[in-house]
Amino acid sequence: MKHIVYLFLITNIFLSVCLGGQVLALVDKEDHLEPIYNNSIAYNLEVIFNYWGLDLTYHFLDQDLPDDKEMQKYVAVLTYFHNERVPEPEKLLNWLISQSRQKKKLFIWGDIPRVSHDGTQRVSEIRVAELYDIFGIQAGTDDPESPLRLVIREDVDASLVNFERDISKDRFSVEHLVSQEGAEADFQMMYGVNQDDSAWETVIASWGTQGSYIQSDFSLFRRWIGGRGSSQLYLDLFRIVGEVFDLYHAPVPDLTTLMGRRVLMCHIDGDGVNNLSYDRSPLLCGHVIKEEVLEQYPQVLFGVSFIVDTISTGWDGTTELSDLAREIFLLENVEPASHTFHHPLDWRNEIYYEEAEVTFDSYREVVESIEYLNHYYAPEDKPVHILYWSGNCLPAENDIAHLYEKGYYNLNGGRNVTDPLFPSVTQLSPKGRKIGPYRQIFAPMNNEMLYTNLWSGPFWGYKQLIRCLKVADGRYRLKPINLYFHFYSAECHDALNALTHNIEWAVSQAPISIYPVHYCQKVAEFFRLEIEGLGNNSYHVQGLQTIQSLRVESGLIPNLDDKRILGFSQENGKTWIHLQPDAGELDIQLANEQPSVPYLVDANIYSIHCTDRNKEMLELLVSAPLDSFESQMIFRVPSARKWEIYIDGKKAENISSLSEDRISWKGLLHRKESTVLLQLK
């Protein structure tokens, strides 16, 4: 195996040989909505690159293309144009070809730029041929009338095609492309065969270490119905990206899974806390959510936010609402948060509700709202550290800068609602968006507002969230379980029933619950983490603090000589490696052999450290997120002989044998650290 380095934070040391890192995505102003992140790549494709730890940066084509010095921080360039027209096509193609010669990987998905917007410039076919040459293909000589009905040639791996949509259902406009002589030794190619003339075929996709080319119609299925767009994937673009970067055997940070379980994150926006609950009149929605959600599910961790002017008696609040906010913040399973001071609707244009008689003040909305809640409402031992964006959730750079300067976190935004007719991972947002030097962190899922037609009904619509959560956990697990809602979900029976239905479903998945701040810390770390390939499936990882899960797509498993590696779990051919918190810097050796020592397979707690391990015992220091937390741990043992578990020196009960090599324990753990000892009898 060649010596490789791939980084999620690019450093000068590793710039020359990196897989992963930053990808430059080129955007044509004619092909997107303002601002720059409102484009087809961000909406449909960035989530694919995020899966492999890749971070996209967007660049307008009406700006100067980056020079060689600026391009040092990028490992690849991505284009996805909807047509052949761009501002300066010849200049762009020359630049792309130059980047490939400098070992930047090219992802040319969608149309190749050939014509200027005004039609006065046209790229020569010689230049297009040079671009094709990068991918081992060339123009053919026979172009039948389009659109064509195509099937994929039988020698293609079937798992690569019909990922979400069957190619045979549609007709395609394609170019006749053929492979260059000998190119298939360096490239994987996919051929489409004309259903009406099986002797005619064309290359529809080619990929190798230089990058990937996909003919336009096959990059993404797009359909507009009733003014709304939907999209689906014909091809497994996840696999293509992973193979181009040679990441199938590499450990990649994963935020969806922790200690072998899918992550559950719940957070509440403060809207509607003062609304009347029609089914529980005269109770307010805030009281109903407290009693029927927060207190009803004490094992689930919630982030709860308030709008300052809604609860404060100094503004529009009442003593009842102020007392209620303090009571909710005091609940053990609640992490306090701010939902701004006055709830801006449009951050970029500084717009509030019509009845709001205030002047927009960015600092007051973000920083002072947190400080106000900390001074008057939050307990001293768990202050507010996070703001949930309000309204359109599109803050400007100065809005988010205030939070970064104070060390606060931010959450909300993005779009994660799948179309019931065309369900697709391309309808899921990335982890966030860059705003200057800062990053807005998106909520993994959308709230009930979008499922209820902006709260106009049907009010049971939030039940459809589960469909989206299942799409995000298909062949590739892309999102944690996220229950994101408002207090006003308690206004009527149907809405509250939909909310509790979703909570019950989430709990039934046996997840591991974390707070929003913890999730935001992981997202920030995800793009800073450094991983160096040392050869022979060995990797050096730096910067591990809150990330405790590394995914290996190929299913290779880690050596457990380092006690900071607690164990691993395997599902759908993949491996998730479990790490202790603050693992820092460590080496990981991957192989196919099962370890000869006992290890952790599964747990619903994550504060775990290994203090000792050998063939006959495993000792852990553990603490739960709450007192009297109903905990579960599953271990793999290397011997079918009798094993025992001791908790703080006392022999544990509720031990069960799940199989010859699997042992489970259930019981109460607390915030105070406990010793868990698994040993051979």
Out of 6-15, 500-509, 512-521, 569-578, least confident range: 6-15
If pLDDT is split at 50, 70 and 90, which confidence band does 8 have?
very low
pLDDT at 626: 96
Place of tokens 């900071």: 564
Is the N-terminal amide bond of 516 cis, ω within 30° of 0? no
Given its phi and psi angles, is residue 103 left (phi above 0), alpha (psi -120 to 50 degrees) or beta?
Answer: left
The mean pLDDT of 469-475, rounded to a whole number, is 97
Place of tokens 């710039």: 15
The mean pLDDT of 234-254, rounded to a whole number, is 96
If pLDDT is split at 50, 70 and 90, which confidence band does 225 have?
low
Distance CA(94)–CA(123), nearest Å, equals: 10
The mean pLDDT of 216-220, rounded to a whole number, is 90
Sign, CA dihedral 106-108-114-115, equals negative
Segments in 135-284 forming alpha helices (H): 216-219, 237-244
pLDDT at 223: 80
If pLDDT is split at 50, 70 and 90, which confidence band does 4 have?
very low
pTM for the model: 0.94
pLDDT at 222: 84
pLDDT at 123: 93
Phi, psi of 283 (to 5 degrees): -70, 145
pLDDT at residue 244 is higher than 90: yes
pLDDT at 226: 57
pLDDT at residue 268 is higher than 70: yes
If pLDDT is split at 50, 70 and 90, which confidence band does 544 have?
very high
Cβ pair 109, 212 in contact under 8 A: yes
pLDDT at 227: 54
Cβ pair 673, 621 in contact under 8 A: yes
Given its phi and psi angles, is residue 541 left (phi above 0), alpha (psi -120 to 50 degrees) or beta?
Answer: beta
The mean pLDDT of 625-631, rounded to a whole number, is 96
pLDDT at 32: 58
Could you tell me which residues are beta bridge partners of residue 222? 231
Residue-wise over 470-489: b if at least 16 C-beta within 10 A, else e?
Answer: ebbbeebbbbbbbbbbbbbb
Round the CA-based radius of gyration of the chain to a whole number and report it.
27
pLDDT at 354: 74
pLDDT in tens, 336-357: 999 999 999 999 999 998 777 8
The mean pLDDT of 270-295, rounded to a whole number, is 96
The mean pLDDT of 217-241, rounded to a whole number, is 85
pLDDT at residue 18 is higher than 70: no
Angle at 606 between CA 603 and CA 610, to 5 degrees: 90
pLDDT at residue 573 is higher than 90: yes
Helix/strand/coil (H/E/C) assignment for every residue in 104-136: CEEEEEEECCCEECCCCCECCHHHHHHHHHHCC
The mean pLDDT of 1-12, rounded to a whole number, is 34
pLDDT at 12: 28
pLDDT at 14: 30
pLDDT at 420: 87
pLDDT at residue 325 is higher than 70: yes
Out of 29-43, 241-255, 436-450, least confident range: 29-43
* Strand 629-636, strand 662-669: pairing: antiparallel
Distance CA(105)–CA(136), nearest Å, equals: 14
pLDDT at 37: 61
Give percent above pLDDT 70 in the chain. 95
pLDDT at 36: 54
pLDDT at residue 3 is higher than 50: no
Distance CA(380)–CA(218), nearest Å, equals: 56
The mean pLDDT of 149-173, rounded to a whole number, is 91
Distance CA(351)–CA(370), nearest Å, equals: 20
pLDDT in tens, 33-85: 555 567 889 989 999 999 999 999 999 998 999 999 999 999 999 999 988 99
The mean pLDDT of 246-259, rounded to a whole number, is 96
pLDDT at residue 516 is higher than 60: yes
Per the model's pLDDT, the better-predicted residue between 230 and 431 turns out to be 431
pLDDT in tens, 133-153: 999 999 998 877 778 899 899
Give percent above pLDDT 90 in the chain. 83
Element (H, E) at 538: strand 538-544
pLDDT at residue 88 is higher than 80: yes
- Average of per-residue pLDDT values in the chain: 92
Angle at 530 between CA 528 and CA 535, to 5 degrees: 160
pLDDT at 33: 55
pLDDT in tens, 360-384: 999 999 999 999 999 999 999 999 9
| Identity of the amino acid at 247 | L
pLDDT in tens, 299-310: 999 999 999 999
Place of tokens 């490789």: 4
Out of 229-238, 317-326, 399-408, 606-615, least confident range: 229-238
Give the HSE-up count for residue 107: Cα atoms under 13 Å, Cβ half-sphere.
Answer: 26
Residue by residue, DSSP assigns 17-36 as S-SSEEEEEEE-GGGEETTT
pLDDT at 34: 53
pLDDT at 16: 28
